[in-house]
A and B are shown apart, each in its own frame.
Chain A
Amino acid sequence: MKDALRDILGADRVLDSSAALIAYDCDAFTIAKGRSLAVVLPETTAEVAAVCRLAFARGVPVVARGAGTGLSGGCMAAAGGIMVATARMKRILSVDLSNRRAVVQPGVVNAALTEAVRADGLCYAPDPSSQFACTIGGNVAENSGGPHTLKYGVTTNHVLSLTVVLADGSVVRLGDDVEDSPGYDLRGIFIGSEGTFGIVTEITVRLVPAPEAARTMLAVFDTIDSASAAVAAVLRAGIVPAALEMMDRLVIRAVEEAFGFGFPLDAAAVLIVEVDGIAAGVAEQAERAHSALINAGAREVRVARDEAERALLWKSRKRAIGALGRYAPAHCTQDGVIPPTKLPEVLREVAAIAAKYRIMVANVFHAGDGNLHPVVLFDDRDDDEIQRVLAAGAEILELCVRVGGTLTGEHGIGIEKIKQMPLLFSPDDLAIQDAVRRVFDPLGLMNPGKILPSRSCVEVGLLHRRAANV
Chain B
Amino acid sequence: MTARVVEARGREQIRAGVLAALSAEEGLVPTGRGTKFEAGNALSRHDLTLVVKSTDEVVYSPDDLVVTVPAGFGFAALQAMLAEHGQWLPLDGHRDATLGGIVSSGVAGRRRLVRGGPRDWLVGLEAILGDGRIVRSGGRVIKNVSGYDLCKLFVGSRGTLGVLTELSFKVLPRPAVARSGTVTLPDLERVEELRILAMRTQPAWLDLAVSSQVDVEVGFEGDLPAIESQVAKLESLLAEAGFALPVWRVERPGDLWIDAEATGAAAGSGEAGDGAVMTSERAVKATEGRADEVARMAVGAALMPDEAVVVRVGVLPTRLAGLLEQIIGLDSALQVSGHLGSGLAMVRGDPGEPRALWHAVRDLAVAAGGHAALERGPKAGEECFAPHRPEWEIGRRIKQVFDPAGILAPGRSPGRF
Binding site for B on A (CB under 8 A): 96, 98-99, 101, 142-143, 145, 149-150, 153-154, 156-157, 172-174, 176-189, 191-193, 209, 231-232, 235-240, 277-281, 283-285, 337-341, 366, 368-371, 404-413, 417, 421, 424-426, 428-429, 432-433, 435-437, 439-440, 451-452
Contact = CB atoms under 8 A, between A and B. Distances in A.
Given A183-B395, A238-B176, A277-B222, A156 B389 contact: no
B140 interface: yes
Given A183-B389, A432-B133, A436-B401, A153 B120 contact: yes
Given A176-B371, A180-B314, A439-B394, A240 B173 contact: yes
Contacts of B156: 184-185
A242 to B, nearest CB: 13
Contacts of A188: 119, 149, 151-153, 155
B229 interface: yes
Contacts of A405: 139, 141
Contacts of B141: 337-339, 369-370, 404-406, 409
Contact of B146 (A283, A406, A426): A406
16 contacts: A99-B343, A142-B145, A156-B152, A157-B116, A178-B314, A179-B314, A181-B314, A182-B371, A182-B373, A187-B152, A238-B174, A281-B227, A339-B61, A369-B143, A439-B394, A439-B401
Contact of A179 (B61, B222, B344, B369): B344
A426 B126 CA distance: 12
Contacts of A371: 143
B65 interface: yes
B84 to A, nearest CB: 13
A427 B359 CA distance: 46
A187 B152 CA distance: 9
A157 B118 CA distance: 11
B143 A366 contact: yes
A172 B265 CA distance: 46
Nearest to A145: B143
Nearest to B124: A406
Interface string B134-170: 1111011111111111111101110001000000000
Contacts of B317: 98-99
A408 B146 contact: yes
| Best-buried of B133, B224, B401 by chain A (most CB within 10 Å) | B401
A51 B230 CA distance: 52
Q: Tell me the interface secondary structure of chain B in the complex.
A: mixed
Given A99-B316, A339-B140, A425 B147 contact: yes
B241 to A, nearest CB: 16
Given A184-B157, A232-B63, A432-B135, A189 B316 contact: no
Contact of B143 (A96, A281, A409, A452): A409
A178 B371 contact: yes
Given A185-B156, A236-B63, 19 more contacts: A153-B116, A153-B120, A156-B119, A176-B371, A178-B343, A179-B344, A182-B373, A188-B152, A191-B152, A238-B86, A240-B172, A278-B202, A278-B230, A281-B224, A281-B229, A429-B147, A437-B148, A439-B397, A440-B394
A26 B243 CA distance: 59
Contacts of A285: 223
B342 interface: yes
Contact of A156 (B65, B149, B173, B398): B149
Interface string B293-323: 0000000000000000000101111100000
A186 B389 CA distance: 12
A152 B206 CA distance: 20
Contacts of B369: 178
